[in-house]
Homo-oligomer: A and B are copies of this chain.
Amino acid sequence: MTNIENNDSGHKTRGRKLAQAVKESKAPAISRAAAILRLLGRSDAPLGVQTIARELDLVPSTALNVLRALVTEQFVNMDPDTKRYSLDAGVLTLARQWLGRDQFTSLAQPVLDRISHTHDVTMLGVQISGLENIIVVSCSEAGSNFQLRAEVGSRFPVFVSATGRCIAAFSDCSGVDLKAQFDKLRWDEPPAYEEWLQQIEETKKQGFAVDAGNYISGVTVVAVPVWNSRGQLSNALVALGIGSALLRSGLAELQQALTEEARKLSSRLGG
């Protein structure tokens, strides 16, 4: 089984990114808190104050203050014996409330289930908020052949793979250095920049995007845009399949089904 994950290189880059965010924000404690939460989320085992502070380039006492606040807010759990910190169930409450209220997820789930079943592909519903990340918000896996998996909550760079081409094609990217963004991406088999631009043009014409093994070799990704009530690109339906299998079982039909369902979803999101 291929597990798709956002290969955040991280390490020391994170510390600097955080330092920037802290300086520019007028509520730096929140940036620090977010960084700590994400670190704890990534970590397999509970972490101590020093470890956290070192990893994020924070002063230990500051880290302690932030952690204590997060503990009282029930976002973080502290083991009183080992003095180790880990995520607490409080984060669940928020996520649940979000899921319950998001129109796209509730409308998209049955659609994803249907398509994944009939076309034997892994289907994802993703959210596109701003031009930072895209987030997988719902997921339906094909039953037959064991295959591709992406967890709900995973994040990916905006411009990568088929979804990336969709965003580049249909979002307002004025003021974005596409070349610079492109250079930051990590693909299994990166397309040339010119080639990529051409694919974006193609996407504009046909209304959906295809990634034929660029992001993950051997895996074909199809993404179709979903528009919110104000006509902005807010979500996308994404199909993942083993390249050869997808070609055999009718890529054209899948694309047609996807565009049709995306159209319906877009109109229903208005209501």
Q: Which residues of A contact B (CB under 8 A)?
A: 21, 25-31, 33-34, 37-38, 41-42, 44, 65-66, 68-70, 72-75, 77, 81, 86-102, 127, 129-130, 132-133, 135, 137, 151-155, 230
Contact = CB atoms under 8 A, between A and B. Distances in A.
Given A92-B99, A92-B152, A72 B25 contact: yes
Q: How many copies does the complex hold?
A: 2
Contacts of A42: 97
10 A-B pairs closest in CB distance: A96-B153, A95-B95, A41-B97, A30-B69, A34-B73, A29-B29, A27-B69, A93-B153, A89-B135, A91-B94
Contact of A29 (B27, B102, B230): B27
Given A153-B92, A155-B93, A33 B33 contact: yes
B153 A73 contact: no
A19 to B, nearest CB: 14
Contacts of A74: 129-130, 132-133, 135
Nearest to A82: B230
Given A91-B94, A129-B88, A34 B75 contact: yes
A231 to B, nearest CB: 11
B31 A73 contact: yes
Contacts of A151: 96, 100
Contacts of A153: 89, 92-97
Contact of A92 (B73, B93, B95): B95
Contacts of A66: 27, 30
Nearest to A26: B65
A132 B77 CA distance: 12
Given A27-B33, A27-B66, A69-B31, A127 B96 contact: no
A25 B69 contact: yes
Contact of A21 (B37, B72, B96, B100): B72
